[in-house]
Amino acid sequence: MDTLTAGRRWAALLALSLGGFGLGLTEFAAMGLLPEIARDMLPEAYARSAPDAVATAGWMITIYALGVVVGAPTIAALTARAPRRKLVLGLLALVVAGTAASALAPTFELVLAGRFVAALAHGAYFGAAGILAATILGPGNQGKGVAIVIGGLTAANLLGVPLITALGQAAGWRVAYLAVAGVFALTLLAVLATVPPVAAAPGGSPRAELRAFRSPHVWLVALVVAVGTSGFFAVNSYVAPVTTQVAGLSESTVPWVMAVMGLGMTLGIAVGGVAADRNLRRSVMLGFAGLLGSAGFFAVAAAHPAGLFLGSFLVGAASLFIVPALQAQLIAAAPGTQLMGAAVNQSSLNIANGVGAALGGAVIAAGWGYLASAWIGVGLTVVGFLLAVLSFRLRPAEVAAEPDREPVPA
């Protein structure tokens, strides 16, 4: 890779982060626009029962998560020999097409198909763009590279999702998603203009990438991610009813609570990227301790407005602090298959999303109250912490011999 000026380097990193911003928009805006989508795409069902129609529209979220889980490792394997910038550009083109198709599709089934296509690129983009950002930053910056790209997603939660939701409510959900497609198109042009060509890892091939799955350690670390971070999603998924039904605040307060959580996520990813590059094991352990403490505090204090806001901030900060370290740990667990390691991390995070929300919803449906989901989050975090300790104890010799500060992959 050619030597870059400081201005060109930061322009390239901003372009890659903008892709993370767009992915945050397309993934989370659907949650706020489900009533509009249900009224437009399922009018007869909505006329009979609005809650049932909205629940059906929730497949917009489920099918997207499924696409991420399927697409991340598949694309990582199939594109192992692709130059990194070309891969990122191809993924952006795919997500532009899928997002635009879902916005313009005439039937609900075709909307879901467009969502699935867009989601296929989600996990692979975070993996490839994170590696590309780390390469641009230079050796010893794996965690910072991941943090820069995922930082775009946290910025989306803080600023973009409320704006896109407001646009969808005012002008229609299709206009909102066409705007999201426009963000991806802008990102594609920005990457094309600012990001230098970067070759694929030497010796990369589909077979080499798939070798990652031969390692029991890779599966163990993926389980750490899937179980450990599901505690955050058990809390995050039910912040709205906790705000209105437990803390007794108005519905208009919910966006402010989400914004405070987004602020915590933004701070957490920034600090977590630096910490992961300094000491990987310590970052993982501190991250789980933070998740456990913040989820417990939320469960105890969220019934009071001050506790709700502080708990939301702490949960957001802890959840994103640990992400760069977990991705770096997966990459370290799969030496020579860095793209697959990053992709598996994204698949595991989306499994965590489904598991946390489902278990939290189950205890709420059983009549244990909305804060029971936070206690589920505490329990899941404890299990994740124990699995993380086990993963470090059982590291293969060739991985354990590496320093906790991870080198940047080629």
| Better pLDDT: 4 or 109 | 109
Q: Does pLDDT of 55 surpass 80?
A: no
Instruction: Give the Cα separation of 141 and 4 in Å (integer).
Output: 16
Residues 182 and 232 in one domain: no
Q: Does pLDDT of 396 surpass 80?
A: no
Q: Which of 200, 231, 249 is a domain's end point?
A: 200
Half-sphere CA count of 334, side-chain side, radius 13 A: 31
Residues 244 and 346 in one domain: yes
* pLDDT tens-place string over residues 279-322: 888 999 999 999 999 999 999 999 999 999 999 999 999 998 99
Kindly state the tokens that stand for 239. Answer: 């912040």
**Residue 150 banded pLDDT, cuts 50, 70, 90:** confident
Residues 141 and 258 in one domain: no
User: What does the pLDDT read at residue 403?
Assistant: 47
CA 318, 324, 327, 329 torsion: positive or negative? Answer: negative
Residue range of the domain that includes 33 = 1-200
User: What does the pLDDT read at residue 364?
Assistant: 82
Residues 384 and 278 in one domain: yes
Residues 196 and 212 in one domain: no
Q: Does pLDDT of 185 surpass 70?
A: yes
Instruction: Give the Cα separation of 253 and 115 in Å (integer).
Output: 30
| Better pLDDT: 2 or 361 | 361
Cα–Cα distances (Å) from 232 to 2, 146, 239, 292, in that order, read 40, 19, 11, 9
User: What does the pLDDT read at residue 155?
Assistant: 84
Residues 195 and 225 in one domain: no
Residues 62 and 190 in one domain: yes
* Tally of domains within the chain: 2
Residues 267 and 338 in one domain: yes
Residues 349 and 215 in one domain: yes
* pLDDT tens-place string over residues 323-366: 888 877 877 776 666 667 777 877 888 888 778 878 887 888 78
Three-point CA angle 179, 182, 187, nearest 5°: 135
Q: Which of 200, 217, 243 is a domain's end point?
A: 200
Instruction: Give the Cα separation of 220 and 387 in Å (integer).
Output: 8
Q: Find out whether 105 and 111 touch, Cβ atoms under 8 Å.
A: yes
Q: Which of 177, 200, 223 is a domain's end point?
A: 200
Instruction: Give the Cα separation of 376 and 287 in Å (integer).
Output: 18
Residues 142 and 254 in one domain: no
**Residue 410 banded pLDDT, cuts 50, 70, 90:** very low
Residues 185 and 218 in one domain: no
User: What does the pLDDT read at residue 392?
Assistant: 87
Cα–Cα distances (Å) from 289 to 75, 263, 307, 381, 405, in that order, read 33, 20, 19, 9, 20
Q: 42 by DSSP, 3-state: which?
A: coil
User: What does the pLDDT read at residue 1?
Assistant: 52
Residues 269 and 404 in one domain: yes
Most confident of the ranges 110-119, 219-228, 233-242? 110-119
CATH number for the domain spanning 44: value is: 1.20.1250.20
Compute the average pLDDT of residues 73-97: 88
